Amino acid sequence: MDAIDTLIVPRWILPIEPADGVLEDHALAVARGRILAVLPRAEALSRYDPHRRWDLPHHVLLPGFVNAHTHAAMSLLRGRADDLPLERWLRERVWPLEGRFVDADFVRDGSELAVAEMLRAGVTTFNDMYFFPDETIEVAQRAGIRLVAGLGVINVPTRWAERPEDYLERGLAVHDRYRGAPRLGFALAPHAPYSVPEDLLRRLRVLADELDLPWHIHLHETESEIEASLEACGLRPLARLEQLGCFDGRLIAVHMTQLTAPEIATLAARSVGVVHCPESNLKLASGVAPVARLLEHGVPLALGTDGAASNNDLDLLAEARTAALLAKVAARDAAVLPAAQALELATLGGARVLGLDGRVGSLAPGKEADLCAVDLLSDPARGPVYDPACHLVYSASGRDVTHVWVEGELLVEDRRLLRHDLEDLGRRVEIWRRRLAGAATEAA
């Protein structure tokens, strides 16, 4: 028998590739952090001698979820700026609070809170955009989660940087310091066309090529953003980026709720990745991304939660459900974005948009073993199960995730985080709650 690290024997396996594939009575073998094989259970038991074997008779095993856009540290602002439209949410609540409170400690504690939440909900990769990215990187490295760290640029002074040029300089220093670290990638992350100077957008475009990095940006998020751009320069934001030479297949466009038919065709022609954040867009009343038309045109599409200050959770399985339901009502077609396709957006779609699909996002032999197991049978409210993909999207949530592996390493066992001290984290979060609540009292 062949010695391997791990053998997982669940009730079902959803490999994502091929699409709509559901395997029963199968097992998944892991060796040296990679998926060695997905094969019938009897064959696996006769072929492999695992160091550790997991029998999960109530579970479905699938790739770990990919949260393609978030602001992890903003978890400390969860519930602190609710029931406001985007512009007021930013200018009246978020930016003032960030200016006053966001420092290295805030980002460290907020990122740790977010990573704990995401891992327990089956997220194994997240693409982040926030200040003090070095702190988020350190948290992710300790936790073992996979991170694409955004090197943010914005024309708003903070404790991280005063001017947009300072943001870029400090971000590049972080890139140089951590480049080559395990489970870590980078992206250039200008906040939005309206909050980054044009000359710096051009420079970022050049740097993306020089450093071989994607860059991701909030774009076409609200109708007011479109109107302001037309008033300022006579162009819609997408056209403005194209005029600046900042528009190509390395662009990751977040939100995209306001799109015309020609713009969708252009996105498809340029292979621009779009990150759909349905719950944040709904909560801020920003709009609804035209998911059905994007998919029809073959635009690469992923799911993101956005930050917990505008969602208010980081549960990507819940995001998949909201995306599926919203797409159906928006298109007035119940067949749009079926469950299996929604799961693909939450896994392989996110990996593809981030340029990681050769490594993660599906249970293909040779890929890194980023996995999650979801219990579909222990809770009476979850049964019966006829189609595990539909059950995951329409009945389950991140709370049903019990086991998570990243690169073959077990990080969550029976819902217990193996690298976190939740008691200590809870104490730090409570200190921040008191400070932020006090700020509300002072403002009143």
50-62: average pLDDT: 98
**Can you give the pLDDT at residue 21?**
86
Q: What percent of the chain has pLDDT over 70?
A: 98
In a domain? residue 363: no
Claim: this prediction has a pTM higher than 0.75: yes
420-436: average pLDDT: 96
Residues 53 and 73 in one domain: no
- pLDDT confidence bin for 380, thresholds 50/70/90: confident
Residues 54 and 163 in one domain: no
In a domain? residue 110: yes
Asked if pLDDT for residue 201 goes beyond 80, the answer is: yes
How many residues belong to the chain?
444
Asked if pLDDT for residue 443 goes beyond 50, the answer is: no
Q: What is the pLDDT of residues 211-269, one digit of tens each?
A: 999 999 999 999 999 999 999 999 999 999 999 888 876 899 999 999 999 999 999 99
90 contacts: CB under 8 Å, gap ≥ 6:
none
In a domain? residue 361: no
Pairing verdict, β 251-255 and 215-219: parallel
Residues 268 and 342 in one domain: yes
**Can you give the pLDDT at residue 62?**
98
In a domain? residue 425: no
242 contacts: CB under 8 Å, gap ≥ 6:
266
**Can you give the pLDDT at residue 331?**
94
Three-state secondary-structure class, residue 426: helix
Residues 262 and 244 in one domain: yes
Which of these, 159, 131, 156, 136, lies nearest to 146 by C-alpha position?
136
- pLDDT confidence bin for 1, thresholds 50/70/90: confident
Examine the fold and report which residue of 318, 353, 388 is the final residue of a domain before the chain moves on: 353
**Can you give the pLDDT at residue 440?**
56
**Can you give the pLDDT at residue 30?**
98
1-23: average pLDDT: 93
Asked if pLDDT for residue 89 goes beyond 90, the answer is: no
- pLDDT confidence bin for 442, thresholds 50/70/90: very low
Separation of CA 277 from chain center: 9
Better-scored residue on pLDDT, 439 or 107: 107
Residues 385 and 316 in one domain: no
* H or E stretch at 280: helix 278-283
**Bridge partners, 275 (sequence order):** 254, 302
Residue 94 structural domain: 65-353
What is the 3 state secondary structure string of 246-293?
Answer: CCCCCEEEEECCCCCHHHHHHHHHHCCEEEECHHHHHHCCCCCCCHHH
Kindly state the DSSP code that residue 257 receives in the 8-state scheme. -
CATH number for 153: 3.20.20.140
Q: What is the pLDDT of residues 58-87, one digit of tens each?
A: 999 999 999 999 999 999 999 988 988 888
In a domain? residue 281: yes
Quote the strand ranges of 191-260, DSSP E.
Answer: 215-219, 251-255
Asked if pLDDT for residue 404 goes beyond 60, the answer is: yes
Indicate the Cα dihedral angle 336, 353, 372, 185, nearest 10°: -170
**Can you give the pLDDT at residue 390?**
96
In a domain? residue 422: no
**Can you give the pLDDT at residue 441?**
41
**Can you give the pLDDT at residue 38?**
97
Which of these, 239, 237, 175, lies nearest to 207 by C-alpha position?
175
Pairing verdict, β 48-63 and 65-70: unpaired
CB-based contact 71:95 (threshold 8 Å): no
* Structural domain count, the chain: 2
**Can you give the pLDDT at residue 249?**
63
Q: What is the pLDDT of residues 258-309, one digit of tens each?
A: 999 999 999 999 999 999 999 999 999 999 999 999 999 999 999 999 999 9
Residue 121 CA to residue 186 CA, distance in Å, equals 23
Residues 21 and 86 in one domain: no
Q: What is the pLDDT of residues 300-350, one digit of tens each?
A: 999 999 999 999 999 999 999 999 999 999 999 999 999 999 999 999 999
Asked if pLDDT for residue 19 goes beyond 80, the answer is: no
Tokens of 14: 């959803």
Computed over every residue of the chain, the mean pLDDT equals 95
Examine the fold and report which residue of 327, 353, 379 is the final residue of a domain before the chain moves on: 353
Asked if pLDDT for residue 444 goes beyond 80, the answer is: no
